[in-house]
Amino acid sequence: MLSKSESLTSWQESVMSSTWLTYVLEQWTGVEYHYLYYIVFILWVLNIIFFAPLLIFISISCFLNLLLHIYKRKNGLDEDFSSKSWDNGRFMVASVLSMCGKLWHGYELHGMEKIPEGPGLIVYYHGAIPVDYGYFICNLYIQTGRLCYSAVDRFFAKLPGIQLLFNLLPAVHSGRNESVEILKKGNLLGVSPGGSREAFFSDENYNLLWGNRKGFAQVAIDAKVPIIPLFTQNIREGYRMFGKIGFFRWFYECSRLLLIPGYGGFPVKLRTYIGDPIPYDPNITATELVEKTKTAIETLRDRHQKLPGSILRALLERFDKHQKED
């Protein structure tokens, strides 16, 4: 007669071996089923940890997109996002995101008065997940009523479930000519020259990884607008990527897919600082303007960010009430 423990073991084996997937995996890998379940569980946990920041970002975006669809249908709106009828929906989205930033990161925005009334090209440091830039454009809209167009990677144009949100904020995916036209119409446009490479491969030293990119500078020259530098304290401590691992760098360079795992979502203190505008100069070259812009952002970084960054210090700064604001 089997003991209680032996009967339980026999029952577990019977149930698990009855699944075809378990059988196939066991035969293919040569690993016993109970070890396979341990491995799957560990991979599941690691997937949640490593991809949680991106999943949270996409989940919130999809939720807001759903609210906008409800708003659109309830009010019988069309796709003319410049219409005043969309203002309440836009304000709702900005308010929700601004509240998320305030509650989770104690988000602060300093230097709003430095943004000119006319057009301007906002150039910012790209964190692993640029939630800070999202908080910035939302606070800008709430406080001034001004929209800031955003140049984003084409990857996001293909993500399902967030198109209405991106059209409303609004985000653009085109090149230099469209960017110049946006600015010539008197708008603000935000761009990060470092892009995904800076997001993935910069680190707690907040190095700017712009390579030879100078298209943004030529856009500012062609549109005859100032460049407004922007930097957020601790953005690299809130969200980090495994870009230092050689395999992930190789994978990105070969595929250009934005699938490098990261970790974070820590409730660190985030403060965005707007620097003094770099005025339009008809005599400056694009290469010279790139260097001036890079220097301006590095100056903001060196003034407001302790290097190298520390997650623990960034968390403790949530309780610092005497932070210098200049």
Cβ(259)–Cβ(241) below 8 Å: no
- What size, in residues, is the chain? 326
What is the H or E stretch that residue 272 is in? strand 271-274
DSSP 57-70: HHHHHHHHHHHHHH
Beta-bridged to residue 230, according to DSSP, are 124, 274
* Burial (CB count within 10 angstroms: exposed 0-12, middle 13-18, buried 19+), residue 282: exposed
CA pseudo-torsion sign 230, 122, 173, 211? negative
Cβ(210)–Cβ(294) below 8 Å: yes
d(CA 74, CA 162): 19
d(CA 274, CA 299): 11
Q: Which two tokens stand for residue 247?
A: 């395999």
Half-sphere exposure of 193 (CA within 13 A, CB side): 27
Cβ(105)–Cβ(73) below 8 Å: no
Type of residue at 20: W
Instruction: Indicate if 173 belongs to the active site.
Output: no
Whose tokens are 């399902």? That residue is 160
Q: For helices 33-75 and 20-29, give the axis angle rounded to 10 degrees.
A: 130
Which of 105, 126, 173, 322 does the annotation list as catalytic?
Answer: 126
Show which residues are catalytic.
126
